[in-house]
Structure 1
């Protein structure tokens, strides 16, 4: 099984790259993910050569620097995925410097390399293995922390924008990828740190299995993932509106401190929001967003977001679901003697998933829909 894993990883990597490059529509984050999967798969070609007794002197094949690309590419992938109209910045190249430095070091001192043990290899320069260990650990720690921070920030952003949040908008699957990334990139350094030669088979197997899991995860989720923020989700909106939204909550507290919005204005805006929600019932549209509200009320989304957060201590996502649940409760009361299909009722009131509806109902009432109806009957 051990010898088969590199073949499987390369096959899945090639399959993923093919699907990514032929994906329509294809976005910049798809191309970044293709590069990441290529780096994961390409390094395993050398594993296959070693398993067949072939020791190639071709540096790109035998380089130990590829793990230093995983964190930066995951970071860039998430950055381009979670924002709209992100343009490439020169500063992004800085994330490649550790990889380039190690790769160039291998090119300069490669003549002094020692053949790696089995298919676990040190970078090809005659320095202490501990340097490599520290580089990998620092890279994993740095990028895992940054990615987790970005994930939390993204989750907050989307609650101030969307009224329905799916797996492909909150990007929860990235938590699993971050975890597998950490696992797959800490096993090799640990092997080199504790076992300089002849590492136990189980560690080598675990590393390959973790990389296989990472590749499969990126393949499955990466192919299905689509753009998070799209213009089509905001009806009657101008294209530049989405540009304004990017990072709207990034420094939310600081913006609120600098805001000239007074308490009286916040109170007035919250009243407008309540009147708007009660009379027009825009929340019945599952694609209702804060951009739609901003357009209809003629109030900037920043002021709307601030008023919701400071005026009634809630988010756009939360208040919309509150109104939806209230509508559903009214329908249950009106049809107390009828057999209700709660899921159809939820869809009619703006929810687009069973789990979101059940969670929101339980959170706001402390009961399931059935329990709520039974309580009314009792």
Structure 2
């Protein structure tokens, strides 16, 4: 059964990888990196299918087993490629291959330079040898490090969006969050399986192997489904856009903007006056750079005033105006027959879900509840 599932997983991964390499929509770089990730996974499990072949080519089999060291770096670059729309791979990125090179070098003396009999004895040794333990430590240690970097990158992305954009759709990381969750589940099962591999619990090992294959199959089928239905599923931002973390000192001196309380009040008054008179928030794609051009005030100063002096992200500040306009429209009996979808589009939102989220955050009730309460007064 495990072999059959492995065969299905192997060819499905290669099929989806081929599809991603040839799709001409969405983020081309992220599609290619994901294709590499899926191909690497297919290569990793190919030993379940081509057992005899690898048995005759033990050096290649060891290379295959050690290639999983690349999984974490590939995943990291995939996340970077969908977070930053302008990401370009550089020569220095090859430094991420150093752990793989070290792992390969460690196996040269007692494996690659030995004969087939010694290699088989190495494979059949039930005691965890130094080289094997070292590889497992490297794989899982670097996986934890890269996962920490990934979640730090996602948190920075979220903060950057909140401080520079007013469109909640660009903040939609649900697909990526689900992607990471499924990967973590699969990674946990692989970790447990590799620990049990050094015990006598063969039945549990077989069960975890089958479970790993099933989840991996689900994973790739889900990716294919998403790619077919929404190839541009994750919108990236420029890596040059600053996150401006509140209450933290900028590392780059050019990012330092000192605004005293009086200046902050003046800037805020200017912004509020512009909001009332010109209603720029009605533009659903309004961002901080556009507002800065309209006011002739540096974007970083606007962000500093909102964050450091008034404790608000640009995202929340703009949407508070949209929600207020929507609340005013919902309160009028003359608008009783007006659809909520029409209202949310009118005040600058792009979707009903984003409108409901922002409305409830500001007024603690849904738009429908608010309308019902107001019209019944």
* TM-score w.r.t. length of structure 1: 0.84
Q: How does 1:52-201 map to 2 (within 5 A)?
A: 55-57=55-57, 59-62=59-62, 63-106=64-107, 109-110=111-112, 111=114, 112-114=118-120, 127=130, 129-166=132-169, 169-196=171-198, 198=202, 200=204, 201=206
Q: Is it true that 1:13 corresponds to 2:13 in the alignment?
A: yes
Check the 8 A contact 1:136/1:189 in 2, yes or no.
no
**CA deviation profile, 1:149-192 (whole Å, cap 9, x unmatched):** 211111111111221222x6432322233233333334334333
Shift in Å, 1:72: 0.7
- Contact 2:281 2:348 (8 Å CA) reproduced: yes
**Cα 1:79/1:22, change in 2 over 3 Å:** same
Regions of 4+ moved over 6 Å: none
Return 5+ residue gaps in structure 1 as ranges: 231-241
Count, aligned residues: 359
Shift of 1:275: 1.4
RMSD (Å) for aligned C-alpha atoms: 3.0
- Which residue matches 2:29? 28
Q: Are the counterparts in 1 of residues 329 and 335 from structure 2 also a CA contact under 8 Å?
A: no
Q: Secondary structure at the match of 1:133?
A: helix
1:42 counterpart residue number: 43
Residue 19 of structure 1: how far off its partner (Å) = 2.3
Question: Does the 8 Å contact 1:158/1:170 carry over to 2?
Answer: no
Of 299-308 and 189-198, the range deviating more from structure 2: 189-198
Deviations 1:190-245 (A, max 9, x none): 33333326362211112222333443344444662456346xxxxxxxxxxx5641
Q: Contact between 1:49 and 1:56, CA under 8 Å: does it hold in 2?
A: no
Tell me the distance in 1 between the aligned counterparts of 2:96 and 2:225. Answer: 26
Contact 2:246–2:307, Cα closer than 8 Å, also in 1: no
Q: Shift of the alpha carbon at 1:54? A: 6.3
User: Please, which moves more after superposition, 126-135 or 203-212?
Assistant: 126-135
Pair 189,328 (structure 1): closer, same or farther in 2 beyond 3 Å: closer
